[in-house]
Chain A
């Protein structure tokens, strides 16, 4: 199947969703390219599921317009949208066999039965469950049920596939392999996938683009790399990976370079466009280099806590300004609790965010 042509773009124009007094999504606008895997990431209750359900047509927007594949679907019910969904609970029909589950969508769309059979078998094979057709969902393991749910959704060759926390019921090992499978299927079919997750590592691992949501709105959209290296806010910096977000003074800005004071040290940071008047400095823990204390260092501190994790050591360092979280993965030395250390920051890996 040459599905990449079928892949649909998704566009929201000022979409609002209210549940009575609660605003679950407020004034959301976005434009997603077809054929990409996009994750919705954010803390609990920020509106991810609601956004997904708005795309599916399971909720109707209170205001604004929604387009899928360039077509206005704002007032179109879920039945007639070319969008499939994999539910967190899988939502397999308990009274139908695996095969009946997978062929359900084809059957209700009146696809001829021979073709239905073939396509359902193909979909089951694609998720590695050929031969499981006669079983009932209750006779499958959690991971297998999850695959059936995926097969059931992709068999319809939808323009957009939605997944709401598809891996949250699986154990850590299985999560890794299933998420890779999902990515592989997405690549193979070339469809647009919108994927909701809580887990930022999962999001980083599979996405082309990540949408970080917060308080019913979008905080930042970008590739995993953009989000990590160029967070727009302290919230993002903290949410995507670990970060020390600390106060600093901006002493000078010119030619796209900001000069900032952090304690007695000063650093030069490349910036794009305006910088917010009130900024904070983001220091990623793995960019801090620790060495034995020397008089000449710019920042010094005392090891408050050290945790040896095998492939890295995590430190909490008390400095005169603030506590810093440091990850040392070079593993070329170990600083016991109470020892004094020097800290080196790499100018090129620092960035500024809005307060």
Chain B
């Protein structure tokens, strides 16, 4: 008891007495607060509470003081544990409460007198507050561990407490803010009754386009598009999967590559390439106009453009899901069918296809959800076709900012994706016929019947060629002066974006450097944090038993079902004002990446950790190592591949993500994707596409570097050992691994 609690007590006092309690204007790391230590708003809480007359900051310090006797007492008893929980808990709750109360209810009768005249707004929590609150949190969890909960393991209980607190603050709290805002009236008051009519208003759900009299509401548009995309990607994905697994098609590796590239492509880049092909001055448009004298239209800006872009973006995901499904159909079933004198087509129709049905449904739902959540393509190609994700954005950044409308649209979008996820888990998740049994299943998959084979080749190959052309466009377009008008070769775009001046030392003169460096540094910080949080959560889920584990799992996986736009909106609604005021900082970008991408780390970690025998950790623990040492020395070294996958994935996602980020960037911390979207809106396609190319190359090199750094080292000496089995979730299988379960 003494060691752990003593440590946190010291940390707590450090935060309370030495670090600035509030956010520091020019950033904590500027250390300007040191030069004027103890003065004004940059003072530590100990000064604020005493010298500056802000008694509402006292409870945290008092509870730290009150725990001293417990920490110093010898031995642990249940009574002391309870006392510790009560005291630290009071300090934590009081401190959180004062933050929210002063911000939102300064006139609340019970607190107004305490605030005396000082009800002026406080700045948001800063380093001091964060450190103090975390120390209090860990004092509570240590107390809980001493009650014998969580195997009496302070590390485990602390980790649970930390993750619950983080998910609470950074997932549930922002979502709750969206809900609250949805009830807000234009005059700033709140009403329950207004919500229902506004939520179901025809502005959102209008079906007019179906009866041919005007345009539909964005919700209906989103659902239509998502249904089409889900169906299309599933069919194409199936064709690819069949070609890949059931034929002797020679260029399979190439197919694999085509499926990986979209994952490292920022979402709107495909839209951009499509504009270069099919836009008013696009290559194909020009060609068709020349050959047939067809009129140049703007058809690409609208439903068909978005649809095409989404098909290109999400078919690889369907392919990756369906490879597993197709491979999962037991060959012996097909052989059985053939021995019963069914021909190849009958076998396919009556045996293979029905067995794949749950997998197909799964793939459809994934495509559906991806399409709903997609923001980049509709933003670039949308035209007059309004979908929910972009409408939310325009409700926030448009000429008339309307947060209430954004909140309601966000709730509509969230209900749709959560609904689809619920269906996926309930209806498809448990019904897989293709589970791998422990029994070795040898045998040959049936060949495809000629008709099916022709159909597969006929769709998959042209599509693959088309995808290749689209990607070729991205590279090609970046070297062309002015697309469609002046097709001469140029390096101008690259120079404008990435020029460097060496005359007086190095000066990064290109316009893109700023956002490029921000993106790299933020992604580099976010990736290991994401992997850490994700794998820690996986560790708790796989290795520990505790009350409320199901709720814990739901909470940690929830952010996966939330479209990025909704997250973005919820973050600006929640973190724009004290006590947690983060907008405009780089921290909020890091946080949004960590909590959006964490579920994939969790899934990967669960898969990997389930393959490591639990008795390995138990052996380590009985040998006198604590859980932390066990994680560090036994589990982490065996998790190499999963760690690599989680790192790579979160790094890539942080670089390519645009939907959530676009709400949260600031002049100081601009990210590459939002910078590029800005160029596109200005019509600077060349620059945009040159920058996208550089991003893709950056990610590819980063992936290779990570593979080299982590992958090789692990394999050097250990490659001979049989257990644990290597984890299958390398990069290509990341997405389905994350999304299917």
Contact = CB atoms under 8 A, between A and B. Distances in A.
Does A associate with B in a complex? yes
Contacts of A162: 622
A60 B151 contact: yes
Chain B CB within 10 Å — which of A75, A79, A81, A95 has the most?
Answer: A79
A152 B623 contact: yes
B624 A105 contact: yes
B209 interface: no
Interface of A: 56-60, 74-81, 83-85, 87-89, 91-95, 104-105, 108-109, 136-139, 149, 152-153, 156, 162
A93 B634 contact: yes
Given A75-B78, A79-B625, A85-B619, 20 more contacts: A56-B622, A59-B151, A60-B152, A77-B151, A77-B153, A78-B151, A79-B624, A83-B622, A87-B615, A87-B619, A88-B615, A91-B618, A93-B616, A93-B634, A94-B721, A104-B625, A108-B623, A138-B722, A156-B623, A162-B622
A78 B621 contact: yes
A95 B637 contact: yes
A79 B618 contact: no
Contact of B721 (A76, A104, A136): A136
B449 interface: no
A77 B615 CA distance: 16
B53 interface: no
Interface in B125-157: 145-148, 151-154
A108 B622 contact: no
A76 B152 contact: yes
A47 to B, nearest CB: 17
A58 B623 contact: no
Nearest to B632: A108
Contact of A94 (B145, B154, B638): B638
A149 B78 CA distance: 36
A93 B154 CA distance: 24
A105 B721 contact: no
B621 A58 contact: yes
B720 interface: yes
B718 interface: yes
B618 A95 contact: no
Interface in B585-644: 613, 615-616, 618-627, 629, 633-634, 637-638
B623 A95 contact: no
B618 A58 contact: yes
Contacts of B619: 85, 87, 91-93, 149, 152
B42 to A, nearest CB: 41
18 contacts: A56-B622, A60-B151, A60-B152, A75-B146, A75-B148, A75-B152, A77-B626, A79-B624, A79-B626, A85-B619, A87-B618, A89-B615, A94-B721, A108-B625, A108-B626, A138-B721, A152-B619, A153-B622
Nearest to B722: A138
A75 B142 CA distance: 13
B354 interface: no
Nearest to A136: B721
B704 interface: no
B615 A79 contact: no
Interface in B637-682: 637-638
Contacts of A56: 618, 622
Contacts of A80: 624
Contacts of A81: 622
Contacts of A87: 615, 618-619
A105 B633 CA distance: 12
A77 B145 CA distance: 9
Given A79-B621, A79-B624, A93-B616, A108 B629 contact: yes
B624 A108 contact: yes
B706 to A, nearest CB: 20
B145 to A, nearest CB: 8
Interface in B527-566: none
Contacts, number: 105
B675 to A, nearest CB: 43
Interface string B703-741: 000000000000000101111100000000000000000
Contacts of B626: 77, 79, 108
Nearest to B637: A95
Contacts of A88: 615
Given A78-B621, A95-B721, A138-B721, A60 B148 contact: yes
Contacts of A109: 624
A85 B622 contact: yes
A136 B153 CA distance: 30
Contacts of B154: 77
A136 B634 CA distance: 15
B348 to A, nearest CB: 42
Interface in B438-468: none
Contact of B76 (A75, A79, A136): A75
B724 A108 contact: no
A138 B722 CA distance: 7
A241 to B, nearest CB: 32
Which of B147, B153, B620, B623 has most chain A Cβ within 10 Å? B623
A96 to B, nearest CB: 9
Residue in B621, B622, B633, B634 whose Cβ sees the most chain A Cβ within 10 Å:
B622
B157 to A, nearest CB: 10
A136 B151 contact: no
B303 to A, nearest CB: 52
Contact of B623 (A84, A137, A138, A139): A84
B615 A91 contact: yes
A94 B621 CA distance: 16
Nearest to B145: A77
A209 B723 CA distance: 37
A93 B636 CA distance: 12
A105 B720 contact: no
A70 to B, nearest CB: 15
A72 B147 CA distance: 14
Given A57-B151, A94-B718, A138-B721, A104 B622 contact: no
A104 B623 contact: yes
A109 B637 CA distance: 20
A216 to B, nearest CB: 19
Nearest to A89: B615
Across the A-B interface, give the 6 residue pairs with the lowest CB-CB distance, nearest first. A105-B623, A91-B619, A91-B615, A75-B148, A108-B625, A77-B152
A351 B722 CA distance: 53
B396 to A, nearest CB: 47
Contact of B724 (A76, A94, A156): A94
A221 B615 CA distance: 29
Nearest to A97: B717
B721 A78 contact: no
A80 B155 CA distance: 13
Contacts of A77: 145, 151-154, 621, 626
B261 to A, nearest CB: 34
Interface in B411-431: none
B625 A95 contact: no
A247 to B, nearest CB: 45
A74 B613 CA distance: 26
Nearest to B720: A138
A59 B151 CA distance: 6
B246 to A, nearest CB: 36
A76 B152 CA distance: 6
Given A93-B616, A138-B722, A84 B622 contact: yes
B630 to A, nearest CB: 9
Contacts of A94: 638, 718, 721-724
Contacts of B718: 94-95, 136
B618 A78 contact: yes
A81 B624 CA distance: 8
A162 B626 CA distance: 19
Nearest to B146: A75
A285 to B, nearest CB: 39
Contacts of A89: 613, 615
B506 to A, nearest CB: 43
B625 A105 contact: yes
A164 to B, nearest CB: 9
A87 B718 CA distance: 22
